[in-house]
Structure 1
Amino acid sequence: MASSASTPARSLRWSQTLRDRSQVLIRTIVPQDRAAERAFLETLSSEARCFRFFGQVRSPSEQLIDRLTDLDPHSEAAFVAVIPEGSAERIVGAARYGASADGAACECAVTVIDEWQNKGLGGALMKHLIELARERGIHRMYSVDLAENLQMRDLARHLGFHVRVDPDDDRQVIHELSL
């Protein structure tokens, strides 16, 4: 039986082999990832930052880092892809969702740093996020993206999302997936 969207997310982790045979650890994000999340966001190219935050974030605020790492386990979920870097972990990709108040739908986002793009990492992160959303009883997943973000459009189509122009802003598209 599927759990409801209000069921807290459990701690998950697994190794993922990408198309180029590189390996990452994918796991749930935790509040202790604050420094790694800040470094991840600061490492994003200006284009990736624009696509993820619609150009509105140059340097991540403490409030944004808090929001991205300290999730409400009843309505949010996030996975990070990490690689070892010295004695710490470096985040190279992240996917997350936030559920609607009734738990029927969720908005998602995925971001991968430039040097880890085109390896299948975004797709792997999203497949795990979609699976978790289904397990939690969410019926619809969507994202709102800039229309010029062709990589996201290709990824969304590959994952089975349907795309349409945002009726409120023709510079944006809405990707939707029935779960």
Structure 2
Amino acid sequence: MAKYSAPRKKNGRAMDVKNYTAVEKLKDGNEVAIRAVRAEDKVGFAKGFEQLSGEAIYRRFFFRKKLLTEEELKIATEIDFIRVVALVAEIEEDGEKKLIGACRYVAIDDNDPPRHAEIAFTVLDAWQGKGLGKILFRHLSDIGRACGVEKFEAVTLSENRSMIKIFTSIGLKVDARSEEGEINFDIHLNG
């Protein structure tokens, strides 16, 4: 079971999630830390990207690429935790901490605080099928809800069955529509 508490609002304002941390167990028994992304995670992001298969990269970015640029690493790790919130999944392996997954939401409205955000996930191939995507989604949803986000939007390829399963089995109201090999999801966080 998770060792965390969802962020709470203080004085009508969402708490700062820059220091968010939780510990979870994956289906295989491995313990994983879920925490807020930090600027110093650039190296971990670059190393993790090198471990992704071409198929995993395509499912995440909808095109093939060989590496993350410096600008992409900066965008991924230097965030405001208001309009963009990002979490990483980190394990300790052979005495070294390694990033094995990440998720984020990016506000797509001009409200303050944002009420609608787009979400994205990446889980390293070796760690897929162990429940990590669902864990990341739950934490991101808890934070989003506590920070005033009412709806997440996501786009996934029609063949990305693992993401479709996560979005359709989470117990929230989900609207889905198909368009040319993609499925667009509206995930309502408050009902």
TM-score, structure 2 normalization: 0.85
1:87 CA drift (Å): 5.1
Q: Distance in 1 between matches of 2:80 and 2:90?
A: 22
How far 1:112 moved relative to its partner?
0.7
Q: Distance in 2 between matches of 1:32 and 1:87?
A: 18
Letter in 2 for 1:163: A
Q: Report the equivalent of 1:113.
A: 124
Is 1:164 matched up with 2:177? yes
The 1:110–1:4 alpha-carbon spacing in structure 2 relative to 1, beyond 3 Å, is farther
Which residue is equivalent to 1:26? 34
Counterpart CA distance in 1 for 2:117 and 2:145 is 11
Q: What does residue range 57-76 of structure 1 map to in structure 2 within 5 Å?
A: 57-76=65-84
- Equivalent of 1:144 in 137, 145, 155: 155
CA contact (8 A) 1:4 1:138 kept: no
**Total equivalences in the alignment:** 175
Contact persistence 1:93–1:112 (CA under 8 A): yes
Which residue in 2 is equivalent to 1:104?
115
Instruction: Provide the residue aligned with 1:11 in structure 2.
Output: 19
Superposed CA deviations along residues 36-72 of structure 1, whole A, max 9, x for unmatched, are 0111112111111001011143211001010001112
Structure with larger RCO (C-alpha < 8 A, sep 6+): 1
Instruction: Calculate the TM-score normalised by the size of structure 1.
Output: 0.90
C-alpha distance in 2, partners of 1:58/1:154? 28
**1:133 alignment partner, one of 126, 144, 154:** 144
Shift in Å, 1:165? 1.2
1:73, CA displacement in angstroms? Answer: 2.1
Separation in 2 of the partners of 1:18 and 1:139?
A: 28
What per-residue deviation string (whole Å, max 9, x for no partner) do you get for residues 141-165 of structure 1? 0111112211111111112433211
Q: CA deviation at 1:15?
A: 1.2
Task: Check whether the contact 2:54–2:64 (CA below 8 A) recurs between aligned residues.
Answer: no
1:121-153 CA distances to partner (integer Å, 9 max, x unpaired)?
Answer: 110010000000000001100111112211111
What is the CA–CA distance in structure 2 between the aligned matches of 1:175 and 1:52, rounded to whole Å?
15
Please tell me whether the aligned partners of residues 146 and 171 of structure 1 are also in contact (alpha carbons under 8 angstroms): yes
- 1:175 counterpart SS class: strand
- Give the secondary-structure state (helix, strand or coil) at the position aligned to 1:162: strand
The reply to whether residue 173 of structure 1 matches residue 183 of structure 2 is yes
